[in-house]
Structure 1
Amino acid sequence: MQYNIRGENIEVTSAIQRYVEKKIGKLERYFHSPVTSDVHVNVSVFNEKQRIEVTIPMQELLLRAEEEHDDLYAATDLVIDKLERQVRKHKTKINRKFRQQGAPKYVLAELENEAFQRIQREEEHEENIEIVRTKRFDLKPMDSEEAVLQMDMLGHSFYVFTNAETGDTNVVYRRKDGRYGLIEPS
């Protein structure tokens, strides 16, 4: 993994960098082949709270988590826990899909332990959809090419904007094949 660690209102020391890289590196044990993606880490300090955001874009999965805590190291540990849950949930869906198609029962044997099964049962009970955060922002009029550039600059997989030509709200997104799509209202 390639690490891109940035700090806002905080200097990213070599100790912080080593700790973050060590913790995020532990996620590689969940994958058969080495992960060849860039890891974007944003460390910031606001109102004496340490905040860490981690984004790991991969081919079939986008891992993203953020956490806020008084201690940066504790926030890092909490963010890694969230990312591990996301990976396990993704692997569970893949295993369930293979089992339904008649594949071998244990596709990922290293994940089949008591802790994984307990977390799996807990997550199945958490199927209720709950909106936990709402973001509001002004939509800048632009063309779709500028929107794609903004999306890539932010490291997101989609971007909402106002089309400068039509005045409609549009969405550009990154497709699984690496190209881009545009959603327009009809």
Structure 2
Amino acid sequence: MQIAVTFRHMETSDPLRDYAEEKLERVKKYIEEPIDAQVVMSVEKKIRHRAEVSLVAKGVTIKGSEETNDMYAAIDAVVDKIERQLKRYKEKLKNHKPSSGRERQIRKSIFAAESFEESGKEPVIVRSHSFPVKPMSVEEAVMQMDLMHKDFLVFTDDESEDINVVYRRKDGNYGLIIPQAS
């Protein structure tokens, strides 16, 4: 487990760093290696102690933050929150039937805005990224999207094997886009 600890608006403290690393060792049992953890500890107005943790492991990103009047309590609370999220994630994965290796590759491209304004020219691709899309249910896709703190997620429906998109609406609900062949 790779753990990076950052201190903001406070003195660097080895006991706090060791305490955070020791507490984060608890989450190893819920998630597969390799795990990258980013811990940010900050103090605002000398009384608000804030601990933020971001975990990334095998396509799963989990974030949490807590604020108390004691940094050790903030670390305990945020690790407890992360642990609850991971338990819930593992439980949903356990209840979900395993995929039979039917992953698809998706390619994401980002175009430069200027390339659309100039008439007669092809759009310029600024960045491109490919990633596997594993089959999952709509409920699992919503959970995965929430865990990653994203506004949308492209996934393969485990029943129909079609590519779908689930997204967060402005009213707080979720939307589902199911393409239909014409």
Structure holding more strand per residue? 2
Amino acid at match of 1:87: L
Aligned to 1:16: 16
Q: Classify 1:38/1:164 alpha carbon distance in 2 versus 1 (closer, same or farther; 3 Å).
A: farther
Is contact 2:34-2:58 (8 Å) kept? no
3-state SS of paired residue (2:54): strand
Q: Classify 1:42/1:81 alpha carbon distance in 2 versus 1 (closer, same or farther; 3 Å).
A: same
Q: Classify 1:64/1:174 alpha carbon distance in 2 versus 1 (closer, same or farther; 3 Å).
A: farther
Is contact 1:60-1:176 (8 Å) kept? no
Distance in 1, matches of 2:129 and 2:55, equals 15
Unaligned runs of 5+ in 2: 100-109, 118-126, 133-182
Distance in 2, matches of 1:174 and 1:65, equals 26
Aligned to 1:137: none
Q: Classify 1:52/1:97 alpha carbon distance in 2 versus 1 (closer, same or farther; 3 Å).
A: same
Are 2:66 and 1:67 equivalent residues in the alignment?
yes
Amino acid at match of 2:61: L
Give matches, 1:139-154, under 5 Å.
Answer: none
3-state SS of paired residue (1:98): coil
Q: Which structure has the bigger radius of gyration?
A: 2
Q: Which runs of 4+ in 1 moved over 4 A?
A: 164-167, 172-177
Is contact 2:6-2:41 (8 Å) kept? yes
3-state SS of paired residue (2:65): strand
Give matches, 1:65-144, under 5 Å.
Answer: 65-98=64-97
Give matches, 1:158-177, under 5 Å.
Answer: 163=113, 165-166=115-116, 176-177=131-132
Unaligned runs of 5+ in 1: 102-143, 146-161, 178-186
Q: Classify 1:70/1:90 alpha carbon distance in 2 versus 1 (closer, same or farther; 3 Å).
A: same
3-state SS of paired residue (2:58): coil
CA-atom RMSD in angstroms: 2.9
Aligned to 1:28: 28
Are 2:50 and 1:54 equivalent residues in the alignment?
no
For residues 127-183 of structure 1, the C-alpha deviation after alignment (integer angstroms, 9 at most, x for no partner) is xxxxxxxxxxxxxxxxx59xxxxxxxxxxxxxxxx945558xxxx897645xxxxxx
Number of matched residues? 113
Amino acid at match of 1:62: T
Is contact 1:59-1:176 (8 Å) kept? no
Q: Classify 1:6/1:85 alpha carbon distance in 2 versus 1 (closer, same or farther; 3 Å).
A: same
